Structure 1
């Protein structure tokens, strides 16, 4: 299907009438425990009470997101049991893990992110994670966010083995209303939002919103090269929605969204080094880096990360009869990203005068371990995503049978070449034009202990990897719920999925000059094919993978009373395979992942003098070919940096339980809490003995009995909100809230533990973490439509790592970490107008 044909199809579908089937969650949660029964979710692609859905779900409305200052994926994960987020490549490239189902570099997501029923734009960045998540500005002007836990493959498709996150935007209404909001905070943070909702006659209504935020970085760059700060925020997000009623049964709903983010790029901090090998250079940096927790170093003159994406969604539906709705959802999106990022936060220095006075004329050189730099004139990610879904929803005349069926198409195509051209142990004034030198190689050639036949030695290189990746997915599905009796319902669902992916990859390793460099550098005579097997095709390799799998669901629900739900279900989940172009056979093709999931659950709500809810779910997941990340050490003098890539584990299992509750012990006080207990275990490991890559050696991977990464055994969230008993019409509503979260220690990589240096070996595991956040609000100040809010996150100023890179093999001998955010505080003032 050509891009032109898809564009025409989208335009045609935009003219069709639709009928909305959207969530209508509560906007304001004055007493969450008393209104929980009325929260409406779309976890099964149709409107249902939260307490009636046999899925473990966490729901946040917009007020709760604002009170907790949720602006990115890591913020959302902090408040959600069983949810983790990996922001190692920047908050705009975060990936999610639910119940230990993680997305690693090079794999498809295990947690699907959906906005208005449409999957997030794909990135296909040829080795770097991008797309597939909640980008900048995704968390403003929402009805709610729904976190669905466990495989959702029947209704939402493949790549939802861990679950799904549904972002439900506010939909245009038929009254004139809106708000203007301004926020200020520490680190010179300012944020502005504005939303206008307006009727356009009797049959149309629209909603337009903008979200703009800017904040200085909290990490101090001590190298004297490039910007003073990292961890900054600078984005704008725009959204426009239009609903048109053509007849009482026909409605058209279109959403256009755009976001543009530009900051200094992701950076990690060098946190440990052993004084051997490359660790000697890293150890020298540790001595220069400074003692402050947020002190970092890097060597790029102009680091940046620029991400731009836009998406158009049209939902159309026809209420054909009282018992049948025909619904169509079509979308088109583009995502582009450029990056020049000092990801590993290294600024190694080679000072020839300190090494040997006779070499003083050669000066000193700053060189990174490696960086992430877009291909010259191109992008690290440059992809389009088109989706088309036709859905039928119906019920029987007596209401005992509810069913839905549909067909789904997703086509993701490159808009051009994308990839990276990144220096490795090379000092570059301009890596795009290969103006680089190799000081370590020069020193190695002076070493008299190295025999002449082993020279010349080239340590510094520039690695070029560019490609195009195409994804094509087709799915057919059906699901139905039948009431055997009024209190007992049986649900069955089935989906069949076809996946195809192609990759064309050009991989070259440029050999850079020794210092001093004389004359122009000639790259045409100084590169080799990274994959020797591609030398006959001018370093270009072609890869193809296809798979087709069924997924299904069987669920039995029992309601002994209206406010109690017991359920038991069995589901099959499937995650598509992937292509890893930088690794040679047989590990360059990762096979699809399959999981059999079993879950028992209880949902209750109760009223009277003590109102509240209590929900409990226990689950067991049995995997085959689970996709897990392992480390690869670069072979000596290969010119490559150590890397990581996914492989298929033999057998593995994940099991645990989740509980959440809400309680109103007395008028004005609302308490909520959530807890997750998680156990993960790798049961068998495949045979890697046939792997023989010219550039990499498989590092010590996972072993039978190991747990999985990003899977804390315990996670607890407790929140309380108290509203003062005041005259709201004269004074307004004043409330105070607090949220405490605890996460137990968790494994983050399998590599560091193999290092004999205890300071590095300990970094395979993140320490336990406790965070306290506070908020206060005064709504309807003195009866006026003005709201004032105060917030403070990380109140106790915890200093913590949110991720560890996994570089610390004995051949590298140093490690870097992603730093968690420090204390953030600020104030928001909102003026509301209209209805």
Structure 2
């Protein structure tokens, strides 16, 4: 067992001391440098005046933590988790226990320059996030906790992450920065800001990074490593003052990434794998034991390619001292091509020449796995009365997301032996006799329309009340033509629709030749529409200029959606949450100066969109007596075996309660201590029944149900009970001619957490030897990370900054996500090893 105790005790003592020491000085004088500005309510405000639980990072803090992806941001943010099951650049967020499962709309929306991330819905998580190379040249990143559905464009139940880029200024300035490090890290950043005219300002930035992967591929098949980095990001920002009161702000973003992608490591074998595949998996596990970061790939050409670009235009008209009108319009495109072994198996293992694939995914030739455009339009009117007694916002929001071109198409061999996947050279004569080949064809359209109003009225100089309401109309439609291919004769494909028993008007089945010639014969269309109000009521009391006490109630809502590739589980309805929260924000100055913010919350979560893990009757057909163990499979013919997949159903009710603390202390000149802490207590209160569609095996015989990744009385996924981060930074008292030299250390800890619900296919299935959740490997282990930084700004009085960094100093090893036991083994996404490097930055201009 690894020794984590000393680090945990140190961090716990620091947190306790901070909390106790801060309390007596909350009412003291304001901190002179308390100037953090946020836009959590769509207007610039001091952080300490906003009645929302928020964690904020500036660009230097992001650099010190080596944050370049969404997953790395989550590592250092209490309450925020990342689902990196499909790689660092396909990460989705979980906040306060609200998680995006499968093809649901994100429960945590990501915004860049006030515009929501572009839509994307493919076979794996991708899009809907920060985007490639988004974490450079930022003013700050703000993590807003709790539903933000009143003022923000898209309704969410968990919260929002706001990325605020640096805006062009009126100074000629810029910088170039280079970084080098282990794993052959090479990074270049360059930014130039030019005031072309008094009324025209331009800012151009470039971020280019490459790094070898830290997962060693020992199979000799495919690339030498995985989890590598290779991206380019370009950002052009232009501000034009059309009149003294009319500003136009345009941002053009482009990001491109081309890597080997992710790869899970197989680490245990379950009882369910009783056929010839067991020998393969045992050999694979044995072959990778030499090094923790060894994996064994069997896919000939794995890769992940992402291209994303966006255009954002914001026009602001200050009609008067008390009225501002803003229009925010955007257009974005997202494309992803990914070829990967989802479950980490190597079908070539142990001398096998006819490779077996559990589930692989790759784009069909000439197609993308995911390909979507998104247009948004938002109008805001912000006003106040002359005496500032009443402030208000009203607005409207429109979002239209369309497929870029035709169907997005993926190939996916499923429990089958293939020597040439793209040429359909496959057969069922190897490990299993029930495999098939899936071709997923889909396209989705989203239309989101919202109108909102929110206002704050000062009852007295110290007491205010805020009320907000929003009405949202959401429509999601999907068209799919999923097909599957059988190989009754080796290397001779027979085509069928993925829906069991498709029929013509005369009730005769489509032939293989008909489907091969025209896959759209298998077309299905699904549509989900909903309209819901959301609201907010908040009471603020400021007994002192630097103390804010608030209490609020909010209704959150997340739209329903569709997935046309999941037979029998293609649609799901909206979910809702009622939030009750109280909080304190304070600034203080005196013997010790700093800030102390605390929030306590309770969520009542209903109609919850939960993952439902489906296993085809074909998955268990090799097991003797399987129709007795799985009665739903009795009488089901092989042609009716649908693809195993993850579906979504409105099957849960939960409660979520917790406490969050964000604090900063300066005990004496030169030393600053920042602490963030979150305690989460989540519990599933009930799970509703879901009917078993034709062709699926029920996974919990006691209730004849399809399996979910949660259970009544248990926790929600990705919700560790305790998580905290402590950063201490000391700046040496040196003369300005020497520069500013700062030493800092950041320690983070999070408790063990239940993993992704997508990975618990055999929960409670006696056949797998599992009778309770405690026997499953899907719990994520505790995580501890220690990072060290040295920053020397203004080296010897020159406009040069030097930085040295080390992340995961103690070489902690843990998995951050599991990919599932659906096929008889467990595989996991591994954390980053120790990373170190140096940065050199040259600043120029006025």
The alpha-carbon distance between structure 1 residues 134 and 35, as it changes in their structure 2 partners (threshold 3 A), is: farther
**Is contact 1:752–1:806 with CA below 8 Å preserved after alignment?**
no
**Local SS of the residue matching 2:659:** strand
Residue 746, structure 1, aligned to residue 753, structure 2: yes
2:664 to 640, 654, 662: 662
**Is contact 1:752–1:760 with CA below 8 Å preserved after alignment?**
no
Residue 765, structure 1, aligned to residue 772, structure 2: no
**Is contact 1:348–1:368 with CA below 8 Å preserved after alignment?**
yes
For 2:588 and 2:694, the matched residues in 1 are separated by 61
The alpha-carbon distance between structure 1 residues 335 and 696, as it changes in their structure 2 partners (threshold 3 A), is: farther
For 1:405 and 1:604, the matched residues in 2 are separated by 29
**Is contact 1:36–1:50 with CA below 8 Å preserved after alignment?**
no
The alpha-carbon distance between structure 1 residues 215 and 658, as it changes in their structure 2 partners (threshold 3 A), is: same
The answer for the alignment partner of 2:739 in structure 1 is 732
Q: Deviations over 1:135-186 (max 9, x none)?
A: 2201000000000000100001444210000000000001100000000010
**Local SS of the residue matching 1:632:** strand
Residue 498, structure 1, aligned to residue 473, structure 2: yes
2:99 to 73, 97, 102: 102
The alpha-carbon distance between structure 1 residues 641 and 767, as it changes in their structure 2 partners (threshold 3 A), is: farther
The structural deviation recorded for 1:539 is: 1.3
Aligned residues: 764
2:399 to 392, 402, 410: 410
Residue 756, structure 1, aligned to residue 763, structure 2: no
After TM superposition, the runs of 4+ consecutive aligned structure 1 residues lying more than 6 A away are 757-760
The alpha-carbon distance between structure 1 residues 276 and 757, as it changes in their structure 2 partners (threshold 3 A), is: farther
Residue 588, structure 1, aligned to residue 570, structure 2: yes
2:557 to 557, 571, 574: 574
Residue 421, structure 1, aligned to residue 411, structure 2: yes
The structural deviation recorded for 1:428 is: 3.0
The structural deviation recorded for 1:94 is: 0.5
The answer for the alignment partner of 2:66 in structure 1 is 69
For 2:348 and 2:575, the matched residues in 1 are separated by 44
**Is contact 1:36–1:613 with CA below 8 Å preserved after alignment?**
no
**Local SS of the residue matching 2:707:** coil
1:91-490 matched pairs, under 5 angstroms? 91-125=88-122, 127-274=123-270, 276-277=274-275, 278-349=277-348, 364-416=353-405, 417-440=407-430, 458-490=433-465
Residue 819, structure 1, aligned to residue 837, structure 2: no
Instruction: Single out whichever of 530-539 and 317-326 deviates more from structure 2.
Output: 530-539
1:511 to 486, 507, 518: 486
**Is contact 1:676–1:716 with CA below 8 Å preserved after alignment?**
yes
The answer for the alignment partner of 1:532 in structure 2 is 500
Q: Deviations over 1:177-214 (max 9, x none)?
A: 00000000100010000000000111100000000000
Q: Deviations over 1:44-76 (max 9, x none)?
A: 000111000000000000011111111111111
**Is contact 2:642–2:695 with CA below 8 Å preserved after alignment?**
no
For 1:58 and 1:148, the matched residues in 2 are separated by 7
For 1:534 and 1:243, the matched residues in 2 are separated by 57
Q: Unaligned stretches of 5+ in structure 1? A: 1-32, 355-362, 445-457
The structural deviation recorded for 1:513 is: 6.2
**Is contact 2:355–2:419 with CA below 8 Å preserved after alignment?**
no
Instruction: Single out whichever of 245-254 and 530-539 deviates more from structure 2.
Output: 530-539
| TM-score, normalising length: structure 1 | 0.89
**Is contact 2:763–2:770 with CA below 8 Å preserved after alignment?**
no
For 1:815 and 1:462, the matched residues in 2 are separated by 23
Q: Deviations over 1:587-617 (max 9, x none)?
A: 3211100111010000011012210111110
**Is contact 2:139–2:164 with CA below 8 Å preserved after alignment?**
yes
For 1:76 and 1:35, the matched residues in 2 are separated by 28
The structural deviation recorded for 1:534 is: 4.2
For 1:290 and 1:535, the matched residues in 2 are separated by 51
Q: Deviations over 1:360-392 (max 9, x none)?
A: xxx732222111111232001110000000110
For 1:299 and 1:130, the matched residues in 2 are separated by 23
For 2:389 and 2:134, the matched residues in 1 are separated by 38
For 2:420 and 2:176, the matched residues in 1 are separated by 44
The answer for the alignment partner of 1:37 in structure 2 is 34
**Is contact 1:158–1:576 with CA below 8 Å preserved after alignment?**
no
The alpha-carbon distance between structure 1 residues 737 and 535, as it changes in their structure 2 partners (threshold 3 A), is: farther
**Is contact 1:270–1:816 with CA below 8 Å preserved after alignment?**
yes
The alpha-carbon distance between structure 1 residues 560 and 301, as it changes in their structure 2 partners (threshold 3 A), is: same
**Local SS of the residue matching 1:649:** strand
The structural deviation recorded for 1:340 is: 1.0
The structural deviation recorded for 1:287 is: 2.7
The alpha-carbon distance between structure 1 residues 167 and 696, as it changes in their structure 2 partners (threshold 3 A), is: farther
The structural deviation recorded for 1:498 is: 0.4
For 1:91 and 1:312, the matched residues in 2 are separated by 24
| TM-score, normalising length: structure 2 | 0.88
The structural deviation recorded for 1:582 is: 3.0
The answer for the alignment partner of 1:12 in structure 2 is none
For 2:770 and 2:48, the matched residues in 1 are separated by 51
The structural deviation recorded for 1:757 is: 6.6
The alpha-carbon distance between structure 1 residues 731 and 427, as it changes in their structure 2 partners (threshold 3 A), is: same
1:707 to 687, 705, 715: 715
For 1:653 and 1:535, the matched residues in 2 are separated by 45
The answer for the alignment partner of 1:558 in structure 2 is 541
**Is contact 1:438–1:512 with CA below 8 Å preserved after alignment?**
yes
The alpha-carbon distance between structure 1 residues 322 and 541, as it changes in their structure 2 partners (threshold 3 A), is: same
Q: Deviations over 1:567-597 (max 9, x none)?
A: 0000000000011323334x32111001110
The answer for the alignment partner of 1:616 in structure 2 is 598
